[in-house]
Structure 1
Amino acid sequence: MQENSEDGRRPSSALRAPSHRDRGEGEDVVIIGGGILGICAAAFLSEAGRSVTVFDRTGICEETSSGNAAAFAFSDVLPLAHKGMIRQLPKWLADPLGPLAIPPAYLPKLLPWLIRFWRAGAAKHYEASLAAQVGMMKLAEAEWMGLLDRSGTRPMLREDGSLEFYESEAEFRASLPGWAERQRFGIGFRHVEGEEMAALQPGLSPRFVKGTFVPGWKTVADPMLLGKAVWAYAEKLGARFEHARVERVEAGASGATIVLAEGTRRKASQLVIAAGAWSHLLARVLGDRIPLETERGYNTTLPASAFDVKRQLIFSGHGFVITPLQTGLRVGGAVELGGIDRPPNFARSKAMLEKAKRFLPGLDPSGGREWMGYRPSLPDSLPVIGAARAPNVFYAFGHGHLGLTQSAATGRLIRDLVLGQTPPLDLSPFRPQRF
């Protein structure tokens, strides 16, 4: 059996037992998915001395994990199902380019998920959902800070806070219960207006009457670059990447089998499915029916010279943010519940950019790169982290808007599950069979 240091990090090479790969017995741990969740799981398992192989059809951090808003949203503890989204639904759906869109042809397929989402937002579920998110966020922040230090990526962290805006007193007052809930858990913030708000972000349109500054909010220099840097750290510890599309998976008492698109079959002692919006398709083959839906997110990344944005700006009433990155200025967000097969509707990116021009007069909208990604979301706003019904298989997916934020916590939890150790968090709210 592999010995592990007390904190779970990889022991010295002198203590490392030969891996399954070393002995020619197939793979030790296989992770399906090279996004930020798979990368973090690979890093934690590699630190613990396990031999890890990551399979992905595209590359390391090349799809959804590459184009997100770059936030470590540790203070975003309110479950999406409880944020009043259902109440806003009729108004938002009236605007096909607004914060939320559902293609009419997709609505019949989406309806069961929407019903589950509505039920998850019931008052009786609120405290349990909030407690689960708070616990996950505390673990996420602690594990990310540790992983940034161990991987040498701490210089990519930005601690400038965030600024959220309101266009009316009524909109501001509607936000206050949510801020009061954050205050319950020690999350710092202050409401600002006038000169103080202008100092936090010069050049802002006068249409915004108030804002909320969250000093503890963090972002990263660029999510793709961070993911690739964490992967480089895992690779130094022995993790390997294979460019391949996984067609299906099988599992039994002796391990798991991964069937690749070209027909090759690969054996693994343990399997982690972290394939984002495609994960539920693999889980279904193993007997777990998980109601995952895809929130398609859009953005445009402008040159860094487009506007001097001081910190992440949040326009919650319009469903998007503006983030200053090392690689440019990212204008993105919004939700399109449209599955994984429909072509992108980049009119949504253009609509956000038009609003950004009004909100930041003087913004140069030229030279942007449009992008669309798939956020894997579950109706109760909590991810799936836990063991499959099939033996030797674990799930790590469904984080919605919080994949980057919660990825290090998920990597730590998956490591503990794979090693048979007791996780530092009650995983019952995240168990795959809760549906």
Structure 2
Amino acid sequence: MTAPTETLDIAIIGGGIIGICAAASLAEAGRKVTIFDRTGICEETSSGNAAAFAFSDVLPLAHKGMMRQLPKWLADPLGPLSIPPAYLPKLLPWLIRFWRAGAPRKYEASLAAQAGMMKLAEAEWMGLLDRSGTRSMLREDGSLELYESEAEFRAGLPGWAARERFGIGFRHVEGEELAALQPGLSPRFVKGTFVPGWKTVADPKLLGKAVWAYAEGLGARFEKARIERVTTDRDGATLMLADGTTRQARHLVVAAGAWSHLLARQLGDRIPLETERGYNTTLPTTAFDVKRQLIFSGHGFVITPLETGLRVGGAVELGGIERPPNYNRSKALLQKAQKFLPGLDPSGGREWMGFRPSLPDSVPVIGHAPGSRSVVYAFGHGHLGLTQAAATGRLIRELVLGQTPPIDLAPFSPQRF
């Protein structure tokens, strides 16, 4: 084993959007940052998401609507939520925590934490887009959530009432107004909810790489490496790489998405992270003229118009990080999209699967490792990694610099489990 040649100031494990925004925020503060990732910058889960800045998406996954739909969804192996039977025994402890997170007291706490985080996220992203010269990648077209029946619409009303409490604007639409918001919709959709403040980006991978270029211009560095092990002592952290070399760092940020809990366990912290495997197909831009992000909540997927194509994806497969992809799921979503948008051209698509790091209460872990002030955890954002990345980057900076964060971090504590 070769001796390290230098002690790094700040090492970040994970080149996804959380790590990128953390690097940018720390580099803006004049700190020397090195990101380690096994593949590259914004090459894995952050590259293929649905491209939404979902600042109004404050409802925890374990809300009543989802719990009510669970049995129906699980009965369909290609439905909005699936669990491979062989994985169920391993998943059971997480599912029990997920079910408990739906209790009214815990639900309200998670809702309030997410609402505060989203307010910060919007402000931080707008600032970062301006500073990094990426504001042109922002799209402010709103979103349209669609319902196939009056009953489905009414079942969603409590969720909209909860959003209204936090000042999130929306309006319910039908008839000609619904048709104008998205021409060519199937008549099976009788109502919709339009959220004018919903934002998307031109392409999440291109945005991530552009923000990284900004961080790099401020001195941030990237090293392609697989981190096999981490340890800590009073001087900071030691990273052991797959090639047998080591790196010393005064501060370590663990932002490795769905793999983060494996690194946390090496430091003695057991955090109940699971992996929501999401699937999509990105079609050519000519596939259909989609005006804004369309949300089919009853089916658990969205359609997003990107600069680089039309992305049809979502759904959740709770299946860990080792099972091979089941692309029948992306095919099933595409078949539904054809029914919902008659005239959609399904040819020429690229299939993709990514790993969303998910915690039972839908609230990420952001805070110091219990055993070391040198280590900051920042993972478990579920569907909201892109949305909350700039806020998380700001919070990581405050934690590393020993400053007071702009929101209460108690709900995000790694020790809450």
TM-score (norm 1): 0.94
**How far is the alpha carbon of 1:79 from its aligned partner?**
1.0
Instruction: Tell me, yes or no, if the aligned pair for 2:65 and 2:156 is still in contact at 8 Å.
Output: no
What code does the residue aligned with 2:287 have? A
* Structure 2 match to 1:39: 20
Q: Equivalent residue of 2:320, what SS? A: coil
Distance in structure 2 (CA, Å) of the matches to 1:347 and 1:179: 32
Q: Equivalent residue of 1:386, what SS? A: strand
* Structure 2 match to 1:90: 71
Instruction: Tell me, yes or no, if the aligned pair for 2:14 and 2:255 is still in contact at 8 Å.
Output: yes
* Structure 2 match to 1:300: 281
Q: Equivalent residue of 1:434, what SS? A: coil
CA shift digits 1:238-282 (9 cap, x unpaired): 000000000010111111000001111100000000000000000
Does 1:151 pair with 2:100? no
CA shift digits 1:8-36 (9 cap, x unpaired): xxxxxxxxxxxxxxxx6411000000000
**How far is the alpha carbon of 1:167 from its aligned partner?**
0.3
**1:194-205 paired onto structure 2 within 5 Å:** 194-205=175-186
Distance in structure 2 (CA, Å) of the matches to 1:83 and 1:39: 34
Distance in structure 1 (CA, Å) of the matches to 2:154 and 2:230: 50
Structure 2 vs 1, CA of residues 81 and 298 (structure 1 numbering), >3 Å: closer, same or farther? same
* Structure 2 match to 1:5: none
Distance in structure 2 (CA, Å) of the matches to 1:85 and 1:213: 21
Instruction: Tell me, yes or no, if the aligned pair for 2:6 and 2:247 is still in contact at 8 Å.
Output: no
**How far is the alpha carbon of 1:89 from its aligned partner?**
1.5
* Structure 2 match to 1:402: 384
What code does the residue aligned with 2:376 have? F
Distance in structure 1 (CA, Å) of the matches to 2:184 and 2:165: 33
CA shift digits 1:153-201 (9 cap, x unpaired): 0000000000000000000011111111111111110000011000000
**How far is the alpha carbon of 1:406 from its aligned partner?**
0.3
Q: Equivalent residue of 2:390, what SS? A: helix
**How far is the alpha carbon of 1:333 from its aligned partner?**
0.1
Does 1:320 pair with 2:322? no
Instruction: Tell me, yes or no, if the aligned pair for 2:368 and 2:376 is still in contact at 8 Å.
Output: yes
* % identity of equivalent residues: 85
* Structure 1 match to 2:328: 347
Does 1:119 pair with 2:80? no
Q: Equivalent residue of 2:370, what SS? A: coil
Instruction: Tell me, yes or no, if the aligned pair for 1:286 and 1:389 is still in contact at 8 Å.
Output: no
* Structure 2 match to 1:431: 413
* Structure 2 match to 1:9: none
Does 1:369 pair with 2:347? no
Structure 1, 125-134 or 248-257: larger mean CA deviation: 125-134
CA shift digits 1:276-328 (9 cap, x unpaired): 00000000010110000000000000000000000000000000000000000
TM-score (norm 2): 0.98
* Structure 2 match to 1:248: 229
Distance in structure 1 (CA, Å) of the matches to 2:181 and 2:341: 13
What code does the residue aligned with 1:179 have? W
What code does the residue aligned with 2:207 have? L
* Structure 1 match to 2:319: 338
Q: Equivalent residue of 1:114, what SS? A: helix
What code does the residue aligned with 1:367 have? G
Does 1:389 pair with 2:376? no
* Structure 2 match to 1:8: none
Question: Any unmatched runs of 5+ in structure 1?
Answer: 1-23
**How far is the alpha carbon of 1:128 from its aligned partner?**
1.3
Does 1:222 pair with 2:174? no
CA shift digits 1:87-118 (9 cap, x unpaired): 22211111100000000000000000000000
* Structure 2 match to 1:181: 162
* Structure 2 match to 1:14: none
Could you list the structure 1 runs, at least 4 aligned residues long, displaced by more than 6 angstroms after superposition: none
What code does the residue aligned with 1:231 have? W
**How far is the alpha carbon of 1:126 from its aligned partner?**
2.2
Distance in structure 2 (CA, Å) of the matches to 1:248 and 1:364: 47
What code does the residue aligned with 1:171 have? E
Corresponding residue to 2:401 among 411, 419, 429: 419
**1:255-270 paired onto structure 2 within 5 Å:** 255-270=236-251
What code does the residue aligned with 1:143 have? E
Distance in structure 1 (CA, Å) of the matches to 2:277 and 2:204: 17
Distance in structure 2 (CA, Å) of the matches to 1:159 and 1:419: 34
* Structure 2 match to 1:128: 109
**How far is the alpha carbon of 1:65 from its aligned partner?**
0.1
**How far is the alpha carbon of 1:83 from its aligned partner?**
4.4
Instruction: Tell me, yes or no, if the aligned pair for 1:310 and 1:324 is still in contact at 8 Å.
Output: yes
* Structure 2 match to 1:288: 269
Distance in structure 1 (CA, Å) of the matches to 2:14 and 2:371: 19
Does 1:71 pair with 2:52? yes
Question: Any unmatched runs of 5+ in structure 2?
Answer: none
Distance in structure 1 (CA, Å) of the matches to 2:65 and 2:100: 12
* Structure 2 match to 1:358: 339
Q: Equivalent residue of 2:114, what SS? A: helix
**How far is the alpha carbon of 1:206 from its aligned partner?**
0.2
Distance in structure 1 (CA, Å) of the matches to 2:44 and 2:64: 28
**How far is the alpha carbon of 1:84 from its aligned partner?**
2.7
* Structure 1 match to 2:217: 236
Distance in structure 2 (CA, Å) of the matches to 1:106 and 1:376: 16
What code does the residue aligned with 1:434 have? R
Distance in structure 2 (CA, Å) of the matches to 1:268 and 1:181: 43
Instruction: Tell me, yes or no, if the aligned pair for 2:282 and 2:309 is still in contact at 8 Å.
Output: yes
What code does the residue aligned with 1:285 have? Q
